[in-house]
Amino acid sequence: MTRDHSSDPEPKSLSRRSFLKGAGGAAASGVFVGELATGAKPVEPTRCLSSEETLEGDVEVTFHLNGESIAVTVEPRTTLLSAMRDRIGHTAAKSVCEQGNCGACTVLLDDEPVYSCLTLAVKADGREVRTAGGLAEGGELSPVQAAMVDRDGMMCGFCTPGLVMSVTACLEKNPRADEAEVRQACSGNLCRCGTYPHVFQAALDAGRKMVASSNSGSGSAGGGR
């Protein structure tokens, strides 16, 4: 069943000016698309509009959000973060800088970490979006989430959902990732409270747990999928 938000009115709080200003600010700061080695990054557009072409009118986008089919009508400029938070009311991905600087908005788009504040909602059409709000299964936290709690990997918590998704993506690819790989995976996520050592320890714990679970046949090494 598809949850239909296509007839909900779109709030106008995000202006084209603020979106362009944000993207420009990120580029100017040197932390933009290709600058992050393996951390979350915005999705490259598949097609560039020529100077004569414009996208006009609203577009309907359908994607799977944590396994649930969602239909929503958005302006072409609407970011995935805005579509989730402002249109659907799904607030697991945090809105902090909205400039591609902090990683708090990190989600997995077809298993790849991306900044949802720099990813257009139309890019999610027909794809699978996962957030920290969808990792728990049957009331049980995912290995990464549980390890973050055990290792005291959060203070204010603003960065936490993004870090959880970056670590989850890393360990789903390689649950035996070492600390250097974990650090690299988190390179696009800023924590102003300085919880990094706890986060890295949590990631290593979670990886060990996923490997043990996989070896015992009692679960997948997929990290809460």
Q: Which stretches of the chain bind ligand FES, using CB under 6 A?
A: 95-98, 100-105, 115, 117, 154-160, 191-193, 195
In 54-142, which residue ranges form alpha helices assigned H by DSSP? Answer: 80-82
The one-letter amino acid at 183: R
Nearer Cβ to ligand FES (97/120): 97
Nearest Cα neighbor of 186 from 25, 176, 1, 198 is 198
Nearer Cβ to ligand FES (97/135): 97
Nearer Cβ to ligand FES (146/186): 186
Nearer Cβ to ligand FES (40/122): 40
Q: How many Cβ atoms sit within 10 Å of the Cβ of residue 27?
A: 14
Say if residues 83 and 147 touch (Cβ distance below 8 Å). no
- Give least dist CB 162 to ligand FES, A: 8
Q: How many Cβ atoms sit within 10 Å of the Cβ of residue 137?
A: 11
- Give least dist CB 105 to ligand FES, A: 3
Q: CA gyration radius for the chain?
A: 18
Give the pair of three-digit tokens for residue 55.
Answer: 């996208």
- Give least dist CB 13 to ligand FES, A: 15
Nearest Cα neighbor of 80 from 108, 53, 58 is 108
- Give least dist CB 45 to ligand FES, A: 17
- Give least dist CB 6 to ligand FES, A: 25
Nearer Cβ to ligand FES (102/221): 102
